[in-house]
Each structure stands twice: as C-alpha cells, then as structure tokens.
C-alpha cells in the first residue's frame, strides 16, 4: 500500500509544483524505472522456470501447504522493507536496492501461479494475461496522465477493501490447511481483485503526479510495479478459472 500521504514521507517540492521540464523528466524516469523492473521480473521468472525451480516450488507447496503462510509473510514483510528503503531521504543506492528486493519478492510471489498455469494450460494463457494487463494498465494510466484528475479520494476505500481481501485470503488459506472449512475464492473474487487493482492504478498514478517529489521515481516505480503484479496475478487467475469451466 502506498505511503506517500503519510506525514514526513516526502521531502522537497512535489512534482505538481515543479517546473514543466522537471515534472516531465520525473515522469519519464518513473516509467523507465518501472519498465526496467518489469523486464527484470520477467527475466527472473524465466530464469527460475528454466532452472526448474518453479516446478519444485509448486510441488513443495503441495507437500508442505503451511509454507504458503510463510510465502505470504515474506511478501508482506519484504514489501514494507522495500518501501522503507525507497523512502525520500534514502541514498540512491539504497532506493535501487529496495527496488531490486521488491522485484525479486514479486517474482517469488508470481512463480507458483505462473508455473502451474504453464503446466496446465500452456504458455499462451500467460501471454494472454500479460497482454490484458498491459492494455488495462496503459489505458488507466493514460486516463490519469491526460485528465490530471486527483484520485487520492480513493485511498481510504482502497485501504479498507485491501485489508478485507487480505482477511478473506488468510481465512481461506487457514481453512484449507486445517481442513475445518472450505472458502472457495472463485471467479467473483478474481473479478473483485481486478477491480481493486484498477482502482490502485488510478490512485497511485494520480498521487505520483500530485504528491511525489521529483526525486522519488524509485518509490513511485515500486508502487506501480505492485499494481501491475496484482492486476496480472488476478487476470491470470481469472483466465485459468474460465478455462477450467470449458
């Protein structure tokens, strides 16, 4: 979750008040950094799959399902650490180290689902999910960049819905692991999470324009990378669920 509206997180003038040349340079650096991060994420996934680690992790999670809770804890804890490293006053080397850490964590987070999708449905479904993610992210980003509308009012609602979704996932995982009950997170949940990811894209893109300072492109890229991964994850999950019904 974004931290840019917290007191003390930003230092200096925000991009919205900077000269046009600085504001444009900031936006270019943000999306260039995001692009490099996405390519690094894809490369990491490809390397792990080539080494066969993806299949090993999937098998390990099936054999030791409680490790799924460990993966969730790593994802949350690592995300907070990466964002802290990318804070405004941190040295550039620490910021980029935080970005690298976050990219690696996202790769580990995606690897089981991507591997399972490839095994069961083939590489085409992953490419389809990636294309839908790219078009959706690009379209929503364009809406904000063109209209320059401030979507920060979405913040509280997105936070509440995020914690609600996390609670549902946690209950579902614990229920499945213990065998006490089964909470099916079906198509309805994937669709709801896609809508949540879309809201975050509007929210984060808007606040990058209105609340980030011009030296915070690394932190901005981390937030956008989180949005891209969240959207891709549930688009892929939804496609898999729809294919399973055929």
Q: Which residue has the tokens 């996390």?
A: 166
Task: Answer whether 223's CB lies under 8 Å from 29's CB.
Answer: no
In percent, the amount of the chain with pLDDT more than 90 equals 41
pLDDT-derived band at 13, boundaries 50, 70, 90: low
Domain ranges of the chain: 18-245
- Is 103 a residue whose pLDDT tops 60? yes
As a whole number, the mean pLDDT across the chain is 83
Please indicate whether residue 73 or residue 35 has the higher confidence score (pLDDT).
35
Nearest to 83 by CA among 237, 241, 244, 219: 219
Nearest to 137 by CA among 193, 201, 196: 201
pLDDT-derived band at 195, boundaries 50, 70, 90: very high
Structure token pair of residue 123: 């590489």
> How far is residue 54's CA from residue 86's CA, in Å, rounded to a whole number?
29
Task: Answer whether 208's CB lies under 8 Å from 167's CB.
Answer: no
Structure token pair of residue 153: 């009012």
- Is 84 a residue whose pLDDT tops 80? yes
Nearest to 19 by CA among 207, 217, 214: 214
- Contact partners, residue 55, CB within 8 Å, separation at least 6: 115, 119
Task: Answer whether 111's CB lies under 8 Å from 57's CB.
Answer: yes
> What pairs with residue 14 in β-bridges?
213
pLDDT-derived band at 6, boundaries 50, 70, 90: very low
99 burial class (0-12, 13-18, 19+ CB within 10 angstroms)? buried
């Amino acid at each position: 979750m974004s931290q840019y509206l917290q007191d003390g997180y930003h230092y200096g003038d925000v991009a919205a008040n900077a000269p046009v040349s600085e504001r444009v340079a900031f936006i270019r650096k943000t999306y260039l950094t995001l692009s490099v991060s996405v390519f690094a994420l894809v490369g990491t996934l490809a390397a792990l799959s080539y080494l066969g680690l993806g299949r090993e992790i999937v098998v390990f999670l099936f054999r030791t399902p409680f490790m799924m809770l460990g993966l969730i804890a790593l994802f949350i804890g690592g995300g907070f650490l990466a964002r802290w490293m990318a804070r405004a006053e941190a040295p550039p080397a620490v910021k980029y180290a935080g970005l690298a850490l976050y990219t690696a964590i996202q790769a580990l987070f995606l690897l089981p689902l991507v591997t399972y999708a490839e095994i069961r449905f083939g590489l085409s479904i992953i490419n389809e999910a990636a294309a839908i993610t790219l078009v959706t992210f690009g379209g929503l980003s364009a809406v904000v960049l063109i209209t320059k509308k401030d979507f920060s009012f979405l913040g509280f609602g997105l936070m509440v819905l995020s914690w609600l979704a996390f609670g549902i996932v946690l209950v579902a995982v614990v229920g499945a692991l213990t065998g006490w009950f089964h909470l099916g997170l079906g198509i309805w949940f994937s669709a709801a999470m896609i809508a949540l990811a879309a809201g975050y894209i509007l929210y984060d893109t808007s606040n990058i324009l209105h609340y980030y300072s011009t030296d915070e492109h690394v932190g901005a890229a981390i937030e956008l990378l989180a949005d891209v991964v969240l959207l891709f994850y549930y688009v892929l999950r939804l496609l898999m669920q729809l294919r399973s019904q055929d």
